Amino acid sequence: MSGISRRRFLAGSIAGCAATTLCGTQKALAAGSFTGYPEGMGVLVDLTRCIGCRSCEAACNKEQKLPAPAKPFDDMSVFDERFHGGTQMRRPDENAYTVVNRYQPEGGGKPIYRKVQCNHCNEPACLTSCFVNAYTKTQEGAVVYNPKICVGCRNCMIACPFNIPGYSYSSAFNPVVKKCIFCHETRLKTGRPPACVEICPQQALTFGKRKDMIKIAHQRILNEPGRYVDHLYGEKELGGTGWMYLSSVAFDQVGFDTTTGNEPIIANVKDFLGTVPMVLAIWPALFTGFHLLAKRKDGHGHDDDHAGDHSAAHGEEEDKS
């Protein structure tokens, strides 16, 4: 009898320990920072190889069935377009999920072209800011978006540190967020590279597992140290991104924000998120306590009200009653 119960006790203990360990492991994973799915895919963009042919823009337009552009894709005058008082170059929007911009590096030299699209962050700001959870970081590494539940608050556009998501403002009844989805539905799911990568004639874009892309990038820097700046943009920035860049000039000269830091955006918000349960837990007792203290004082009469000028008001109130 006692043996059985002991055995049961032991079995129970082991099961309990196992459960605790498992839960503990999961918890530790959830609480730490997420550095991307191990098998997640990425793209290495080598700015030194890009010639600004815009064929990636054309391929994207076709793949994603976007409207025809105002200027054809072989019209290179778009590189001279400037907006908002001549300060801004082209950016992705509802009609173009990717754009190529041309930069003239300081001290002359050949122009440098930079392709802009969603960088598919490991810990995306858009995803963490969305109050209906419309965004998903898929196992394949894409950040995709569910237009069926989007309310249209555009918080994701506020949060995106790369200013990527566009909004179809012109639609009155079904406006949605529009951005590069890594060709997730049509290609990435089945392991195929996105349309822009496939079409690139210069192999400026390399598709593969993110961890392999990091290795290739550092190998290229090692092999040709004179060709590259010793930095892989996106390896660590903002918690790491799926799309990463190599450049021959300082990144801030070709339109990259080099002040982002390596913490994901959500790290800035955690301070506040941590106070929420504390306020929820502490305030009820605190303020009900204040109320009880104040009432107790009332019970002893209004005379001990230390603001002397208010006693008149109290008297008046009592008279009325």
Partner 1 sequence: MKSMIRQGIQPVASHHNGEGKSRKSWSLLEKLLLGLSPRQYLEQAIKNPFNWILGVLFAVGLPLIAYRFLFGLSVVTHSSNDYPWGLFLGFGLFAMVPLSASGFMLGTTVEIFGRHDFEPIERLALLNGLLGYLFAVIYLLVDLGQPWRLPYPMVVAFGPAAVLFLVAWHVATYLSVQVAEVSVAFFEWIGWLGGKRFVRRIAVGLTVAGIILSTLHQGALGALFTYAPGKVHPLWYSASFQWIHFFCSAIPGGLCMVIAVSTIVKKTMAWRCDGNFLDNLDRCTFGLAKGASMGLITYLAIKLIGVAHDNEWGYLGTGWGAWFMLELAIGVILPLALFAWAIHNQRVGVVRLAAFITVFGVVLNRINTALIAFNWKLYPEIPHPFEVIICLTIFAIYVVVYRFILYRLPILFAWKAVPVEAYETEPVTVQSAPALKSSVPAPGAVYRSID
For residues 203 and 259, which CB has a smaller minimum distance to partner 1 in the complex?
A: 259
CB of 290 to partner 1, least distance (A): 5
Nearest residue to 65 via CA among 166, 178, 150, 170? 178
The CA distances from residue 244 to 187, 210, 221, 253, 266, in Å, are: 20, 9, 14, 16, 20
**49, burial (CB in 10 Å: exposed 0-12, middle 13-18, buried 19+):** middle
CB of 110 to partner 1, least distance (A): 27
CB of 15 to partner 1, least distance (A): 30
The CA distances from residue 104 to 79, 109, 231, in Å, are: 11, 8, 20
The first and second tokens of residue 102, run together, are 């041309």
Binding site for partner 1 (CB under 8 A): 84-85, 87-88, 91, 93, 125, 128-134, 149-155, 157-159, 161, 163, 165-167, 169-176, 257, 259-260, 265-266, 268-269, 271-273, 275-276, 279-280, 283-284, 287-288, 290-291, 294-299, 309-310, 313-314, 317, 320-321
Question: CB-based contacts of 257: which residues, under 8 Å, 6+ apart?
Answer: 161, 162
For residues 203 and 321, which CB has a smaller minimum distance to partner 1 in the complex?
A: 321
Question: CB-based contacts of 142: which residues, under 8 Å, 6+ apart?
Answer: 41, 120, 181, 182, 184, 188, 242
CB of 159 to partner 1, least distance (A): 4
CB of 163 to partner 1, least distance (A): 6
Question: CB-based contacts of 145: which residues, under 8 Å, 6+ apart?
Answer: 126, 134, 135, 136, 176, 177, 179, 181
For residues 196, 201, 203, 209, the Cα torsion angle rounded to the nearest 10 degrees is 30
For residues 19 and 158, which CB has a smaller minimum distance to partner 1 in the complex?
A: 158
For residues 13 and 174, which CB has a smaller minimum distance to partner 1 in the complex?
A: 174
Nearest residue to 148 via CA among 126, 175, 128, 130? 175
CB of 50 to partner 1, least distance (A): 24
User: Which amino acid is present at 136?
Assistant: T
For residues 39 and 252, which CB has a smaller minimum distance to partner 1 in the complex?
A: 252
For residues 9 and 83, which CB has a smaller minimum distance to partner 1 in the complex?
A: 83
CB of 144 to partner 1, least distance (A): 14
For residues 201 and 255, which CB has a smaller minimum distance to partner 1 in the complex?
A: 255
